[in-house]
């Protein structure tokens, strides 16, 4: 009987729960926790008029914006010391974004860089879509304001108001005169008598910034796993990412268009490359009760990849400055470069000083390398004798070579290992100079000496007369002549062509990179010459207890049999006898 009573009680409880859920269905869960700043809020001041009575939904009156009157789209201009932006009042879409600190070329009257082109307008840069419908095309919009002009310390705002698909959209942009950031307060208001579910998307779009293969345009995003870049092939197929997205962007080495959602919202990134237009859309799904509003804060950054402006941007946006595999080394090197520039006012001189500092840091390692190379050079006659004697017995040849190295305490890899340690620094500086916006249109020697011909007026462009690549190749050839020749004749011939290969590679590189490599070669030649001069004709020191190979003794006997040059005093004595 007790079991029957329990069963009856359970069945009755389920019946009551089912009937209750039918009569009073629960509201769908909100995306964010109640303590989040994005939680659904009541409309300010008049929210009570908009909130329907849950017990009497038939009395609901849809909310309306006071004096909402749709108008034709018109251009609104915002001018700051850093940029001039043009928006369309229909949706707040960006039509132009002109960087007032960056020109398209080094000509004094060259037009400024515009990061938004007519080709990208149909993709809706800085527009929003509702349920994948472009609000700037399908929605109705109104605007009540005027053009803005900001000084360095000014802060001003624009507000665009629209409606589409039963929701009202309020977009408020805030600008500062000393920043490339645009703050957005986005409000979505449910003006219907039923719950609204929809997807809101913030959009950025632009064509490739340049056709330079050394400076490609990429879509980047930053999440809990760090920074990632997507290749064009993936973008053409359509790319989607949604795990812990912090920001997403379109950029190249020099410029960036980025969108940053605040408060760690659950967003989805969709990126594509279509008709050579890069487009990103960051979306999230909203559930809004009748008469309620969902508020969201976002940041747009449109401008140069300049650490001074990005360091204070939200969500670690400064991580967009990325120099490749050795990024952790390249960043402090570029910071040092900017330090030298702040004292010299010339980035070419700053590159020379930075190269000198790096050379001083690695001086001890390079010193060991050049000393080892000098020792190998002195062993060349003995090594040639061993190769000739055992040319048909590779194993015996290697054994005798190793015995020779041990006899004179020479490490055959001693000339390479110190250089290998420096390679990551060289590559990091190479990548840093390649991707530093600071070098764009930076001048070293503006005119060829004693002429009015423009020369190294842009360190981010190639040398127009190929002077620096050719001189760099000559320094490489001189370095090879100072180093011991390879034992293999074929390898020696290949090494002779290496400077030509480097000239061919570097001839199209930015002149700032070539200047760094040239300066490093000149300093290396100077150090190598100093080592050779210090060593002079000092004989090799034989290790204690080590027997010299027979081939070494033969070489020494030949050297002894050679007539020695008379000294200066001996020559003077002979002259006296003749007199």
Lowest mean pLDDT of 3-7, 218-222, 438-442, 468-472, name the range.
Answer: 3-7
**Residue 556: both structure tokens together:** 């020494």
pLDDT tens column, 175-229: 999 999 999 999 999 988 899 999 999 999 999 887 677 789 999 999 989 999 9
Q: At what angle do helices 417-435 and 347-361 cross, to 10 degrees?
A: 160
pLDDT score for 307: 93
- State how far the Cα of 30 lies from the Cα of 14, in Å rounded to an integer: 26
Q: At what angle do helices 550-561 and 394-407 cross, to 10 degrees?
A: 70
- State how far the Cα of 230 lies from the Cα of 272, in Å rounded to an integer: 10
| 383 shares a domain with 294 | no
pLDDT tens column, 275-319: 899 999 999 999 999 989 999 999 999 999 999 999 999 999 999
pLDDT score for 1: 40
More confident residue, 26 or 78: 78
pLDDT score for 21: 45
Is residue 35, in this structure, part of any structural domain at all? no
**Residue 194: both structure tokens together:** 């039923």
Lowest mean pLDDT of 31-35, 260-264, 330-334, name the range.
Answer: 31-35
| 386 shares a domain with 259 | no
State the pLDDT confidence band at 522, using cuts at 50, 70 and 90.
Answer: very high
Residue-range definition of the domain harbouring residue 143: 75-322
Q: Percent of the chain at pLDDT above 70? A: 78
More confident residue, 469 or 45: 469
pLDDT score for 302: 98
Work out the mean pLDDT of the chain and round it to a whole number: 81
| 437 shares a domain with 337 | yes
Residue 23 predicted with pLDDT over 90? no
**Residue 94: both structure tokens together:** 């960006």
State the pLDDT confidence band at 552, using cuts at 50, 70 and 90.
Answer: low
C-beta of residue 78 within 8 angstroms of C-beta of residue 92: no
- State how far the Cα of 52 lies from the Cα of 291, in Å rounded to an integer: 7
| 297 shares a domain with 416 | no
CATH of the domain at 148: 2.70.98.90
| 364 shares a domain with 239 | no
| 336 shares a domain with 228 | no
pLDDT score for 60: 52
Is residue 45, in this structure, part of any structural domain at all? no
Lowest mean pLDDT of 188-197, 265-274, 364-373, 550-559, name the range.
Answer: 550-559
Residue 559 predicted with pLDDT over 70? no
| 290 shares a domain with 225 | yes
pTM for the predicted model, two decimal places? 0.77
C-beta of residue 511 within 8 angstroms of C-beta of residue 461: yes
Q: Where are the alpha helices (H) located in 142-274, listed in sequence order?
A: 232-237
| 443 shares a domain with 400 | yes
| 347 shares a domain with 308 | no
pLDDT tens column, 398-445: 888 888 877 777 777 666 666 677 788 888 888 898 889 999 999 999
Is residue 571, in this structure, part of any structural domain at all? no
| 312 shares a domain with 434 | no
pLDDT score for 543: 55
Candidate ranges 471-475, 537-541, 542-546; pick with highest mean pLDDT: 471-475
Is residue 141, in this structure, part of any structural domain at all? yes
Domains held by the chain: number: 2
| 211 shares a domain with 138 | yes
Residue 578 predicted with pLDDT over 80? no
**Residue 39: both structure tokens together:** 């939680």
| 357 shares a domain with 302 | no
pLDDT score for 576: 52
pLDDT score for 242: 87
Residue 75 predicted with pLDDT over 80? yes
């Amino acid at each position: 009987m007790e079991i029957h009573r329990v069963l009856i009680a359970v069945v009755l409880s389920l019946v009551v729960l089912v009937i209750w859920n039918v009569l009073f269905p629960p509201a769908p869960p909100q995306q964010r926790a109640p303590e989040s700043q994005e939680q659904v809020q009541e409309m300010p001041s008049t929210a009570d008029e908009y909130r329907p009575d849950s017990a009497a939904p038939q009395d609901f009156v849809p909310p309306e914006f006071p004096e909402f009157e749709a108008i034709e789209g018109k251009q609104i201009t915002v001018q700051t010391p850093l940029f001039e932006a043009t928006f369309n009042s229909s949706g707040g879409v960006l039509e132009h974004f002109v960087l007032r600190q960056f020109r398209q070329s080094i000509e004094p009257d060259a037009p400024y860089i515009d990061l938004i082109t007519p080709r990208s307008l149909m993709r809706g840069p800085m527009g929003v879509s509702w349920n994948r419908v472009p609000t700037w095309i399908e929605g109705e919009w109104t605007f009540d304001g005027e053009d803005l002009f900001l000084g360095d310390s000014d802060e001003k705002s624009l507000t665009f108001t629209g409606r589409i698909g039963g929701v009202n959209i309020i977009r408020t942009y805030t600008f500062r005169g000393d920043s490339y950031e645009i703050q957005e307060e986005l409000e979505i208001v449910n003006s219907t008598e039923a719950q609204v579910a929809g997807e809101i998307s913030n959009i950025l779009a632009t064509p490739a910034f340049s056709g330079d293969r050394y400076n490609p345009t990429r879509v980047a995003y930053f999440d809990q796993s760090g920074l990632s870049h997507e290749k064009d092939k993936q973008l053409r197929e359509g790319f989607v990412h949604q795990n812990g997205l912090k920001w997403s962007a379109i950029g190249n080495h020099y410029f960036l268009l980025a969108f940053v959602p605040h408060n760690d919202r659950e967003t989805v990134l969709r990126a594509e490359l279509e008709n050579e237009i890069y487009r990103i859309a960051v979306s999230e799904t909203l559930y809004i009760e009748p008469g309620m509003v969902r508020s969201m804060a976002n940041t747009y950054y449109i401008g140069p990849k300049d650490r001074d402006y990005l360091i204070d941007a939200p969500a670690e946006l400064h991580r967009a400055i990325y120099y490749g595999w050795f990024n952790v080394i390249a960043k402090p090197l570029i910071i040092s470069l900017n330090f030298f520039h702040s004292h010299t006012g010339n980035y070419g001189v700053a590159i020379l000083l930075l190269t000198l500092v790096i050379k001083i840091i690695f001086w001890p390692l390079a010193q060991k390398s050049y000393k080892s190379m000098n020792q190998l050079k002195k062993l060349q006659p003995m090594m040639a004798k061993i190769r000739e004697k055992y040319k048909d017995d590779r194993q015996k040849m290697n054994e005798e070579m190793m015995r020779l190295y041990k006899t004179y305490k020479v490490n055959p890899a001693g000339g390479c290992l110190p250089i290998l340690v420096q390679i990551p620094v060289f590559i990091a500086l190479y990548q840093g100079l390649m991707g530093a916006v600071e070098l764009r249109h930076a001048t070293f020697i503006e005119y060829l000496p004693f002429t009015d011909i423009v020369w190294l007026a842009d360190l981010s462009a190639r040398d127009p007369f190929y002077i620096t690549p050719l001189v760099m190749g000559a320094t490489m050839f001189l370095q090879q002549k100072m180093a011991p020749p390879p034992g293999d004749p074929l390898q020696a011939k290949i090494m002779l062509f290496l400077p030509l290969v480097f000239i061919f590679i570097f001839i199209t590189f930015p002149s700032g990179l070539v200047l760094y490599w040239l300066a490093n070669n000149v300093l290396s030649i100077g150090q190598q010459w100093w080592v050779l001069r210090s060593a002079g004709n000092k004989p090799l020191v034989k290790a204690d207890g080590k027997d010299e190979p027979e081939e070494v003794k033969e070489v020494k006997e030949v050297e002894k049999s050679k007539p020695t040059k008379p000294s200066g005093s001996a020559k003077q004595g002979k002259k006296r006898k003749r007199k």
